[in-house]
A and B are shown apart, each in its own frame.
Chain A
Amino acid sequence: RTPPVTLAAIVGCPELHPLISTHFLSAQPPINTLALPDLSKIYLFERKPKDSNAEVPPPPPTVVGGVLKKDWLLKHRTKVPAVLGAVFRAEHVFGDPAQWLNVCLGLFVCRAVIRGRNIKLAVVIIHTGADEITEDRMIALRKRADVDAKYVIMLNPNDNSDLNQSLDRMANAFYGLATMYYREEGRRIKQRIEKKNVSSVELIVRYCFKVAVYAEFRSDWPEALKFYEEGYHTLREIVGVTTRLPAIQRLVEIKYVSEQLNFKICTLLLHSGKVTESVAWFRQHKNAYKRLVGTPEAIFLHWDWMSRQYLVFGELLETSSKTAQIFPPITLGSASKPLSEWEFHPAYYYQLAAHYLGQKRSSLELVISTTETSSDTDSVDSVVPSTYVGQFARILELGDNVDMMALTDEEYMRYAVSEGRRFRDSLEIIALLRKAYESFNSSNIQRMAALCGFQMGKEYFSEGDSSNAKQIFDSIASLYRKEGWITLLWDVLGFLRECSRKSSNVKDFVEYSLEMAALPISSDANLQRDTGPAGPASRIQRETVHKEVFDLVMEDSVSETNEQLNNLKINGDKPLQLQVDLVSPLRLAMIALVAFHEQTMKPGSLTSISVSLLSHLPCTVEIDQLEIQFNQPSCNFFVSNAQKPQSVGVTDTQQHRVETSTSLLLEPNKWLRLTYDITSDQSGKLECQSVIAKIGPHFRICCRAESPASLDSLPIWTLDDCMQSVPIKDSVLVLSGQKIIQVEEPEPQVDVRLGAFGPALVGEIFLVPVTVISKGHNVYSGELKINLVDVRGGGLFSPRENEPHALDSHHVQLLGISGPEGEDDSHLDSDKIKQVQQSFGLISVPFLKNGDSWSCKLEIKWHRPKPIMLYVSLGYTPTNNESNPQMVHVHKNLQIEGQNAIELNHHFLMPFRRDPLILSKNKQASESNISQSLPLNQKTLLIVSAKNCTELPIRLKSISIEADNDVERTCSNQHGNEELSNPALVAPGREFKKVFSVSSDKNISKLVLGTVCLTWRRDLGVEEQSASTTGTLPWVVTKQKLPDMNVELPPLIVNLECPPYAILGDPFTYYIRILNQTPLLQEIKYTLADAQSFVLSGYHNDTVYVLPKSELILSYKLVPLASGLQQLPRFSMTSVRYSAAYQPSSSSNSVFVFPSKPHFKNEASTNFRLESVANE
């Protein structure tokens, strides 16, 4: 099958032959070598004098024996070389005359031998380097050999590098000679074709073939292709023209030859990568010969031949696609006859090969059955293929002579039939189909593969190989099931059923039979004829199958009457139980829906359960007994058929309840609905698991229970147009019925109380007392679970995303659980579970007798004001029964508000009527946020006020300012951090103020003031006094950082001075001091506005200069004209240098005018110390 390879021969020097031939084989292009040890063997190449085909000048047409000689190609591939290489040793060539004569003689012999065949000659001289090379000898040698100088090759086996080169040279020379030889031969034969004087068409075909082969020898593929095609077309012309052979054999020969040519053409096309052309060619070939059927009795030969065509082409395509990975191009074939992509799948050809082989088999069987060829095998024995391709002849042995005698058609047919008998076509067909099946499957073409599988299964089945057949049928049945191809499925199941019958597999037999009987086939028409063992798919057939299988399972004793079933037995030893689960195809045969009428039930109470059964079997089935199984075995119960009381199994029904139903008839396509009461004592999930139907003594179908709500439609029946009835009458249950019911816990008889009062305050540890009081149940292995949940939901316990600066990861934290009073924690920890996490706690409750109580306290701390929901759930078992722990749960919840207890505020005050000019203030005036600045070296008052924003009174222990540890102290504050001597009570809504004075003497831009620390606790009112020794709540420290301040040196400070009060009509002096703190002269423009209530003396407007580091005092005399709180004349000034205007605030710019001189009591002011400090 490989393309032919150039053949060369070498003679002489046998020790070098392996070296040369291996090198030639690996050369590019390779050359096959015939190695002859010496000249005596050279006569093999000599042309025989008597050669009937080519030598004898044009024989009469009848003499042409056939189209192609079978061994012609073989001869050229293995026997007739294109080149003869005569190898001589150098010492012989250039040695003494005797040796030289020997060489000449050898050459002469060679030339004589090869002349008849035009074989080319080349001379190889083995030159070991020892001898002299004389030029005249070389010339003489060339002359003797009649070769060109380049075909005399020197070879030096001792020199490695040189040897390789010269071997290459030798291969090239040989190849060139061979090409020349093949070209000449080809041209010689081509001339014969062109001369047109060829007597018969057969010879043209033969010549074309030869030319093509010669072209192949020299790798001239296009030429080879051209002549193969020409030969092929010429051959087509022969059909119907030639009468050389008897009709059948003639056709056989033509087909054989065309096969050969077609094979060559396809191979060449595929090798050159022209897949599409090759496929198109093959199609044309197949179409051309498809109708050449021949005589009817020999038709099997035609099918055989067709099958072989497909097989061979499929194999060619497969190998080429494996090596080349060529994908079919987009434009397939010509426009008029497009190729489909399937013609590029080898599997397609295998499938068709199998198909034709099947046809061959059937027609062969027909021939065998009609022709009664009894015992003339001896005449067949001596028939062998003759010398021509596609011809057969009988060998006649006459003594030593062997002669070929042509056959008559009759004899040939006998031979062919007997040959055909020898082969087991089924195996061949199965092999072909398996190839196709696997190939289709590997390219994921399921349905084609299924068809191949089906055919393969049929072959196996007819061969009697049940297990293989079953395996294949099973795999393809699932595809048909999935896609709902009922008729195909029916057929496959029919085969499967027979397979299981043959292998005596009762279970499979029953399963397949039930599935078949339940298939939705309603047509009564008896259409198909070529059906499998199942018979035609019809309703009647379904009923037949149904009856057969139920006869089998219902019979008590094995029937001897039924011949078919006598190897299938069901009895007490081998009871049969079929499992029907959610994916089983037997759901068609029986499906069980179970629905509880309630979703939950109390333990011990009754509820209803509906069991619905549906069968698509064609006949009514009577069920002897139903068993309904639950996950709680105590709930299992039986339903027995009232009409068959004797058949109820009495083995284990004593423990279980048995219901009786009037009839358990399962009619086709109608729901059998049963409703029963059910109760359960065990809390938890009660789930119906399966419904087992007993039919007959030894047959049970176990259906997995399904919920109506989750009922997926039966895949096949829903596609059919049939009436769907509802499984349960209650339409709500149809949609929502579940096979699971939740059995509730018994009513808890234990109380859990949460005794929290009021809102919780941020920062304090809030105690929630929990009390467990038993009111009827003993509490065993109790467990208290505590959960904190954000009321608003979400975001409570993972605030990091929202507030990256949160100090704690939890806004509300469960700190701990303190046990009941008198019981210390260490004891609790040792043997009881106690787990506390941030928002979750678990604590075990000790055993409590009925009436006892137990309590603990939850410690919860709020970091942010936030309402939370506290969930407390107690789980316990009322009885100390280890085996059956029935947990009872009590749930309580409580919403607790978290509030900020205290709001801290602060502000700064400058000394009274003393205003520094702070430049940064002016600069930032335009901007919105003004960060406060403090003047340098000036005492500033800081007032911290703590406001109680709860509804509870709060005790305040101290307010202090603490410096941050890590920051250098930058300011001094006085009026200390001492504790209040007696904790102050702050009523709801009231404020507590404390005054600090701050001064900074360092010229730095930022002043870190520190943190306000507030120590407080919730005031318990009267209880506080009573429990003052031990039970007071711990103090809570609230801290708030004060903002950093800017400090700067004010260039100017304005001080307004006037007496604390004035008296009507009494003049007083109003001083305005302007202090220049800079080393520069300051120009000040000032204005003093008139005031209604005062008469004043002095400049209203002026421009003054204040000397560096000195103070300017402006003094005015004022006479009050009205009494009461009066506004002083308004002073305003502008610093020219800083272009900053200054206006003192109006609030500090007033004085109280008494109508007459007042009289003060001296001790009055001491009561309100705090206020007076502020006022000063």
Chain B
Amino acid sequence: MIVCVAVVGHQNNPLYIQSFTEADDALKLHHIVHCSLDVVDERVNNPKKSGPLLNETFLGLLYPIENFKVYGYLTNTKVKFILVTTDLDVKDADVRNFFRRFHAAYVDAVSNPFHVPGKKITSRTFAERVSTIVKSFGLTSAV
């Protein structure tokens, strides 16, 4: 299950962060997302280590913590998408698929002429769309 998704701007500032848990550990998830930026930085700054991931938007598994797995995605405009999930056995393809849809939703949201680039995304439509994508995560591959 996805517990948190986040959009992080290129100054590592949060643009959108939403958790999907019943338990009220939003703060903890914020910490997790924030820490995962270190991994993104490391991946981006040392592309040698990640080797085959060069030129790919999908960053893969960023790091495992006790009960979560964190995945990352980097757009061409250096906006980062972070996904925190509790599923311990996640298929890469699912995550890729998720990020692709999420990216599309993000692009639509920031294409809104009333959206100022670099500001937080407050669009309600975007939030709804994201929650739909989150809910359908993992289902598509099962079908």
A residues adjacent to B (C-beta < 8 A): 328, 330, 338, 340-343, 348, 352, 355, 445-448, 450-451, 454, 480, 483-488, 491, 527-531, 718-721
Contact = CB atoms under 8 A, between A and B. Distances in A.
**Which among B14, B28, B35, B51 has the greatest number of chain A C-beta atoms within 10 A?**
B35
Given A341-B42, A448-B35, A448-B38, A487 B26 contact: yes
Contact of B27 (A328, A447, A488, A720): A488
B34 A530 contact: no
A525 B51 CA distance: 44
Given A451-B34, A530-B24, 12 more contacts: A338-B60, A340-B39, A355-B66, A445-B42, A447-B37, A450-B34, A483-B12, A485-B13, A488-B31, A528-B25, A718-B118, A721-B122
Nearest to A290: B66
B11 interface: yes
B1 interface: no
A445 B37 CA distance: 9
A446 B39 CA distance: 10
Nearest to A342: B63
A529 B23 CA distance: 9
Contacts of A530: 24-25, 27-28
Contact of A340 (B25, B37, B64): B64
A487 B18 CA distance: 12
Sort A-B residue pairs by CB-CB distance and give the 6 closest, nearest first: A484-B13, A529-B24, A342-B63, A483-B12, A447-B38, A445-B38
- Per DSSP, are chain B's interface residues mostly helix, strand or loop, or mixed? mixed
Given A330-B51, A528-B27, A719 B34 contact: no
B101 interface: no
B119 interface: yes
Contacts of A330: 48-49, 51
B142 interface: no
Nearest to B120: A721
A607 to B, nearest CB: 35
Interface of B: 9, 11-15, 24-28, 30-31, 34-35, 37-39, 42, 48-49, 51, 60-66, 116, 118-120, 122
A451 B35 contact: yes
Contacts of A352: 65-66
Contacts of A340: 39, 61-64
Contact of A483 (B11, B27, B31): B11
A527 B30 CA distance: 13
A328 B120 CA distance: 37
B116 to A, nearest CB: 7
Contacts, number: 85
Contacts of B62: 340
B120 A719 contact: yes
B119 A721 contact: yes
A447 B34 contact: yes
28 contacts: A328-B49, A338-B61, A340-B61, A340-B62, A340-B64, A341-B42, A342-B39, A343-B64, A352-B65, A445-B38, A445-B42, A447-B38, A448-B38, A451-B31, A451-B34, A483-B11, A483-B12, A483-B14, A485-B13, A485-B14, A485-B30, A487-B30, A528-B25, A528-B26, A530-B28, A718-B118, A719-B9, A721-B122
B89 to A, nearest CB: 9
Nearest to B31: A451
B119 A527 contact: no
B60 A720 contact: no
B68 to A, nearest CB: 12
A341 B49 contact: yes
Contacts of A527: 24, 26
A354 to B, nearest CB: 12
Contacts of A491: 27
Contact of A719 (B28, B31, B118): B118
Contacts of A487: 26-27, 30
Nearest to A452: B35
**Which among A340, A355, A480 has the greatest number of chain B C-beta atoms within 10 A?**
A340
B40 to A, nearest CB: 10
A488 B34 CA distance: 9
A530 B62 CA distance: 25
B71 to A, nearest CB: 11
B56 to A, nearest CB: 14
A720 B120 contact: yes
A488 B30 contact: yes
Nearest to B51: A330
Contacts of B15: 719
**Which among B13, B24, B25, B27 has the greatest number of chain A C-beta atoms within 10 A?**
B27
Contacts of A488: 27, 30-31, 34
B42 to A, nearest CB: 7
A720 B49 contact: no
Nearest to B123: A721
B27 to A, nearest CB: 5
A488 to B, nearest CB: 6
Contacts of A486: 14
Nearest to B26: A528
A205 B47 CA distance: 45
Contacts of B31: 451, 454, 488
